[in-house]
Amino acid sequence: MSQNLLLTNARVVTATEVFLGTVQVTGGVIRAVDTGVTSAAGATDLEGDYLLPGLVELHTDNLEKHFTPRPGVRWPSLPAVVAHDAQVVAAGITTVFDALALGDVKDGSARMENLDDMATAVTLAQAEHATRAEHFLHLRCELGHPDLTRLFHNFDGNGLVRLVSVMDHAPGQRQFVNLDKYREYYQGKYRLSDAEMEAFMERQIRSSHEHSDSNRAHIVARCHERGLPLASHDDAEPAHVEEARALGMTIAEFPTTLEAARAARGHGLQVLMGAPNLVRGGSHSGNVSARALAEADLLDIVSSDYFPSSLLQAAFTLEESVASITLPGAVARVSRNPARAARLEDRGSIEPGLRGDLVRVHEYHRFPLVRDVWRAGMRVY
């Protein structure tokens, strides 16, 4: 059904400027973006609130929390997806890439047990229009996992798969070059004794040596055949970026050092960092801060990672804390840039001809508060 939407008296945030204006959406598409306020019948007065493009989220693990809200608790699949979707939309996100881990560092983990159900439930909910945001799938490929290629090929016929990243969480490299940080994270997560932790680390190193290279080659070749964008993950040094460039990757997720981020930019990869890193002021793993990369003009895309509402907050944090970044530039990092990186050309900015994905944001004690969300001109929050 064709929808007509007229929003006025809004601080419209376009790709280049912020102005008091009016936006018209017809049939789900932005038809006009004008300066000034209209008194036309049917116009909705936004009372001076910001009007942003719908946010585009490329990497969130948030779905897992709804399938396993507590250790040992498994929530029904479709209600879990719907609850996750509602949280995402309430954060201003209208396009979300749900990250599914193919392989894990621990056998029998909840994320592996839930993998098929998560994929099936997201696909069904999307097909039956039960979601408010538009959902795609981001396959996170754990290269050291011996069964990775089989898990990957299970998604060959799933059209929601639109992004693939490859990663190796073995101790001593990339995200966990610092072995003390590795022990702190996984020993705390799995409650392992010192002896169990040492055995765990030995297994991870051995599995990485045995499987990573062949799995990487297979996954990359298959993605190029299917035309799927590829992302590297946790690059720690220029050599990692050189490898990613040679394999045709276009996104560098969460580089752990300034040197790796600089190398990624030099090779044309889009640098993606976590919004929680920005909001908190640093990395929980002791790696490079997203703010430092932003100040060095090495930050292209921001992802909410594990906390959906951090994405919008990060955009306003960027504008406030980094002198060289304007609000349009900050908003582009959570909307236009991720959309283009994922090869979605129909959204991500407030301009005629693009999809009417819009977010009304009110400044509440200097905090960006989502008041309304529209997807393709339809109010979904």
Q: How far apart are CA 9 and CA 40, in angstroms?
A: 12
- Give start-end residues of each CATH 3.20.20.140 domain in the chain: 55-346
Q: How far is CA 87 from CA 31, 63, 98, 303, in A?
A: 29, 10, 13, 15
Contact 134, 375 (CB under 8 A): yes
Q: How far apart are CA 42 and CA 365, in angstroms?
A: 30
Q: Provide φ and ψ at 112, rounded to 5°.
A: -75, -40
Per-residue burial over 326-355, b = 16 or more CB atoms within 10 Å of its CB, e = otherwise: bbbbbbbbbbbbbbbbbebeebbbbeeebb
Which residues sit opposite 303 in a β-bridge?
274
Lookup: tokens for 108: 């029998």
Contact 170, 144 (CB under 8 A): yes
Q: How far apart are CA 98 and CA 88, in angstroms?
A: 10
Contact 55, 334 (CB under 8 A): yes
* Residues 6+ positions from 140 with CB-CB distance below 8 Å: 59, 99, 100, 101, 102, 165, 167, 233
Contact 74, 109 (CB under 8 A): no
Q: Given this model, what pLDDT does residue 203 score? A: 81
Contact 335, 351 (CB under 8 A): no
- Give start-end residues of each CATH 2.30.40.10 domain in the chain: 1-53+349-381
Q: What is the pLDDT along the chain (381 residues), one digit of tens a residue?
A: 457 999 999 999 999 999 999 999 999 999 999 999 999 999 999 999 999 999 999 999 999 999 999 988 999 999 999 999 999 999 999 999 999 999 876 666 778 899 999 999 999 999 999 999 999 999 999 998 889 999 999 999 999 999 999 988 776 666 666 677 777 777 777 778 888 888 887 887 787 878 888 999 999 999 999 999 999 999 999 999 999 999 999 999 999 999 999 999 999 999 999 999 999 987 866 789 999 999 999 999 999 999 999 999 999 999 999 999 999 999 999 999 999 999 999 999 999 999 999 999 999 988 999 999 999 999 999
pTM for the whole thing? 0.91
- CATH number for 1-53+349-381 (one of 2.30.40.10, 1.10.3720.10, 3.40.50.740, 2.60.40.10): it is 2.30.40.10
Reference 99, options 263, 280, 366, 305; nearest CA is 305
Q: How far apart are CA 342 and CA 97, in angstroms?
A: 10
CATH superfamily entry for domain 55-346 = Metal-dependent hydrolases (3.20.20.140)
Q: Given this model, what pLDDT does residue 1 score? A: 43
* Residues 6+ positions from 190 with CB-CB distance below 8 Å: 106, 200
Rg of the chain's alpha carbons, rounded to an integer? 21
Neighbours of 239 (CB within 10 A): 11
Lookup: tokens for 244: 């990613």
